[in-house]
Amino acid sequence: MNVRDSEAVAAALVGAGHTAAVDEAGADLVIVNTCSVRAKAEEKALGKLGLLCASKRERPRRIIGVMGCMAQRMGEKVFEKVPTLDFSVGCRAARLIPGVVADIAAGGCGRRWVAEDIGCHDVPHGHLNAGLSAFVTVLLGCNRRCSYCIVPDARGPEYSRPAKEIVDEIACLASRGVREITLLGQSVLNYGRQREPVWDAPACAGAAFAEPFPRLLEAVAQVPGIRRIRFTSGHPAGCTEELARAFRDIPQVCPHLHLPVQSGSDRILKAMRRGYTAEQYLEAVERLRAHVPEIALTTDIIVGYPGETEEDFEATRALMRTARFDNSFIFKFSPRPGTPAAQLPDDVSPEEKDRRNKALLAEQDEIGVANNAAWVGRTVEVLAEGPSLRNPSRWSGRCGQNKVVIFDPVPGLTRGDLVKVEISRANPQTLFGNLVA
């Protein structure tokens, strides 16, 4: 989401007459986009801002700004931590950035916090140089209010963009050569469930779906030139029969879903207000796999949530073994100001969080190795991206399951081609294989 927002702000600045710098050292304007989801992310951003502001001693005209969730959350306080910062604009006012930069460049007052909340739906959506793949935001904000999460405070309530606006943006990207679209939303499967009517686009010919998100997938699939559609992040409540059918029946929809589980313990899931039990989560997984057996699933897990016992932790480990994720991102609980979980004693020690974190990473490694090994001998479809960074005589791309695949090119192969590769070897991160005629 932040990668996407950074690009949209950069595109807005280019639209206002700026030129993209080749690298950070050469930039007269640097804006750090920030995340508040864990304390560590904020510490890193503040450290980076400190270094950038120190560089102003040699380059007094350089402008340094901060945007994103930390800017939104800290307000003016960010200037106490980084006194020589030029500006801070929260994620819900990102549209104002080009104007703020123009003011400062014209000698206007620096050190400004733009507190105006101009509405989370009024954000930039431009794209810079379109490559093969692009992110498109479809759902802004979040209404779920999981007990540990700061996102709803920072990004505000959920807002589904009109389907027509999304489809038009994607058609424009496709005409610029984009072949793969990733639809973004904190809880993307909620698309269109809060706001009626989002469906102001004409219904697709022969529409096969009634729910708003599958319908959106169907509409995006009809955009000429779009060969692949991905989306993130999922929630079990959105893993309906229709979504499973969309995975199976819309050829462009890639067989991969990032479906954060957070914990395998019902007691902890309830405390987190996730809205499902471990069993309901696994039922969602089964529903998807029943329609698309080869679907890849990835997840997020938090270890050391307040009150998490050894038994709760073991329940998470057991769920991992049942779900057999292709990848898991494991996070240590970090109390975030203003969230309900921050009121509870952060009672799992740092050492214990570390032990649980490492144990789940090891568990995931083992599952990942076995999952990847199972692809040897099978054929996958790969979007050819070009020479591999490690060994430029070979090419790389990703298969529908979002795994990196390395293969030997043939004359005439072009970036953006969809090719079939038979897998001959696998390591935990990568698949290797040969093109199939």
Which residues here bind ligand SF4, judged by CB under 6 A?
142, 144-146, 149, 151-152, 186-187
38 binds, options ligand 5AD, ligand SF4, none, Cβ within 5 to 8 A by partner type: ligand 5AD
Secondary structure of 267-283 in the HEC alphabet?
Answer: HHHHHHCCCCCHHHHHH
Dihedral of alpha carbons 146, 151, 156, 159, sign: negative
Residue 108's alpha-carbon distances to 26, 51, 78, 376, in angstroms, are: 23, 23, 20, 62
- Of 139, 85, 124, 148, the closest CA to residue 308 belongs to 148
DSSP-based three-state secondary structure for 334: coil
182 binds, options ligand SF4, ligand 5AD, none, Cβ within 5 to 8 A by partner type: none
DSSP-based three-state secondary structure for 430: strand
Nearest residue to ligand 5AD, scored by beta-carbon proximity: 300
199 binds, options ligand 5AD, ligand SF4, none, Cβ within 5 to 8 A by partner type: none
Q: Which of 87, 113, 276, 333 binds ligand 5AD (CB under 6 A)?
A: 333
Which is closer to ligand SF4, CB of 145 or CB of 378? 145
320 binds, options ligand SF4, ligand 5AD, none, Cβ within 5 to 8 A by partner type: none
The nearest distance, CB 186 to ligand SF4, in angstroms, is: 4
Q: Is 260 in the site for ligand 5AD (CB under 6 A)?
A: yes
Four-point Cα dihedral 18, 19, 22, 27, nearest 10:
-30
* Contacting ligand 5AD within 284-323 (CB under 6 A): 300, 302
Q: Which of 235, 336, 353, 356 binds ligand 5AD (CB under 6 A)?
A: 336
333 binds, options ligand 5AD, ligand SF4, none, Cβ within 5 to 8 A by partner type: ligand 5AD
Residue 148 to residue 142: CA distance in whole angstroms: 13
Which is closer to ligand 5AD, CB of 2 or CB of 430? 2
187 binds, options ligand 5AD, ligand SF4, none, Cβ within 5 to 8 A by partner type: ligand SF4
65 burial class (0-12, 13-18, 19+ CB within 10 angstroms)?
A: buried
154 binds, options ligand 5AD, ligand SF4, none, Cβ within 5 to 8 A by partner type: none
* Contacting ligand 5AD within 1-40 (CB under 6 A): 37-38
Residue 50 to residue 35: CA distance in whole angstroms: 16
Which is closer to ligand SF4, CB of 104 or CB of 149? 149
Q: Is 328 in the site for ligand 5AD (CB under 6 A)?
A: no
Which is closer to ligand 5AD, CB of 233 or CB of 388? 233
Asked if 292 contacts 255 with a C-beta cutoff of 8 angstroms, the reply is yes
Q: Is 186 in the site for ligand 5AD (CB under 6 A)?
A: no
Residue 4's alpha-carbon distances to 38, 87, 373, in angstroms, are: 19, 21, 33
142 binds, options ligand 5AD, ligand SF4, none, Cβ within 5 to 8 A by partner type: ligand SF4
The nearest distance, CB 237 to ligand 5AD, in angstroms, is: 15
Residue 31 to residue 63: CA distance in whole angstroms: 8
Instruction: Name the phi and psi angles at 133, rounded to 5.
Output: -120, 145
Residue 320 to residue 318: CA distance in whole angstroms: 5
In the 8-state DSSP scheme, what is residue 239?
A: -
Which is closer to ligand SF4, CB of 139 or CB of 253? 139
Footprint of ligand 5AD (CB under 6 A): 37-38, 148-149, 260, 262, 300, 302, 331, 333-334, 336
